[in-house]
Amino acid sequence: MAANRENMRLLDGGRFMMGSDRHYPEEAPARPMRVDRFWIDETPVTNADFARFVSETGYVTLAENAPDPRDYPGMDPAMARPGSPVFRRTSGPVDLNDPGQWWEFCFGANWRRPLGPESSIVGLEDHPVIHVAYADAEAYAAWAGKSLPTEAEWEYAARGGLDGADYAWGDELAPGGAMLANYWQGLFPFANQLLDGYERTSPVRSFPPNAYGLWDMIGNVWEWTADQYAQPSPAAGTKARCCAPARQPRGARRRVSHHPAVSQDRIVQKVLKGGSHLCAANYCQRYRPAARHPQSIDSATSHIGFRCVARDL
């Protein structure tokens, strides 16, 4: 069906400098890029949006399905149950090279029950939907008559015309102490000062939009893009893997492509953009338009969501 333009913005496209030479190596080099005109959702897809999709289609997400052990050689049979990784704050400092310290694979966690089987999305209808794998995001986009953005489209939109700026609003993270996005203030993963008012996700439109009228392009949840992840040099990927778990603890998926600097598993990985509420100054400073992160397509977590684009102009 044709995309509904409600709550979307039309961007004229154009030339911009994509990437950054000042931050993580996988963002370099900064290079000229051009995108065509496209529409983009003003916000990430919300729980209410996703609920409408599921109600009309009966769609069941990856996290709601038990994995097939035949797809994951060496998988512990006890893991063949539906679930998804959920962030758990630690009681004190931990090794920041070990995401397993703050991620728990939670049986029963999914988009309807974001913190586990006893939780719900009641009262969170205007929060971004989470625990969506890449195929889940694609299915929603197809139902809506839309697509997932390319990495270049997403970054162009996030910059809001501020070519070369570090953040979606300029070069200072918190100008005058203002909290302009939902990210972690304090020492990750144990001390969150909550200066932005949120421990986990926040309602969309809780912070100011960028100059293109787009909300939550930075922080709140990571967002899927359509591009397969690749690193520009062997040096990239030597830093800690950000706040995301390496993968769901199942085994080696039989896939045809992978990135050896990130994982020995043969997994197709897509680019995530925007950072999340777990990005912090002391770890994963990826709350920037240029920032990027790999994520295996068969993984869903409590800090990954998405938004859509439409190109049928």
Look at residue 168 in the predicted model and tell me its pLDDT: 97
Q: What is the pLDDT of residue 266?
A: 61
Q: Report the C-alpha gap between 306 and 132 in whole angstroms.
A: 8
User: How far, CA to CA in Å, does 214 sit from each of 40, 144, 160, 223?
Assistant: 8, 19, 8, 14
In this prediction, residue 242 carries a pLDDT of 67
What lies within 8 Å, CB to CB, of 150 at 6+ separation is: 35, 225, 226, 227
Contact 9, 277 (CB under 8 A): no
Q: Which residues contact 260 (CB under 8 A, 6 or more apart)?
A: none
pLDDT (0 to 100) of residue 237: 43
Decide if 106 contacts 82 (C-beta within 8 A): no
Asked if the peptide bond before residue 189 counts as cis, ω within 30 degrees of 0, the response is: yes
Whole-angstrom distance, CA of residue 295 vs CA of residue 229: 8
**Per-residue confidence (pLDDT) for residue 128, from 0 to 100:** 98
Rounded distance between C-alpha atoms, residue 236 and residue 229, angstroms: 12
**pLDDT recorded at residue 209:** 98
At 305, list the tokens.
């969501």
Kindly write down the DSSP assignment for every residue of 100-153, as one continuous string.
GGTEEEEET-SSSSTTSTT---TT-TTSBP-S--HHHHHHHHHHTT-BPPPHHH
**Residue 147 Ramachandran class (φ > 0 left, ψ -120 to 50 alpha, else beta):** beta
Q: What is the pTM of this model?
A: 0.91
Amino acid making up residue 260: P
Measured distance CA(156)–CA(185) in Å, rounded: 26
Could you write out the DSSP letters of every residue in 50-71?
Answer: HHHHHHHH----GGGS---GGG
Q: What is the pLDDT of residue 241?
A: 58
Q: Which residues contact 153 (CB under 8 A, 6 or more apart)?
A: 35, 38, 40, 225, 309
Positions of the chain with pLDDT under 70: 1-2, 232-242, 244-266, 313
Q: Could you report the per-residue pLDDT of 30-63, keeping only the tens digit for each?
A: 999 999 999 999 999 999 999 999 999 999 999 9
pLDDT at position 68: 87
Interhelix angle for 47-57 vs 134-143, to 10°? 70
Spatial contact of 108 and 80, defined as CB atoms under 8 Å apart: no
In three-state form (DSSP H/G/I as H, E/B as E, the rest C), the secondary structure along 247-262 is CCCCCCCCCCCCCCCC
Q: Report the pLDDT value the prediction gives residue 261, as an integer from 0 to 100.
A: 40
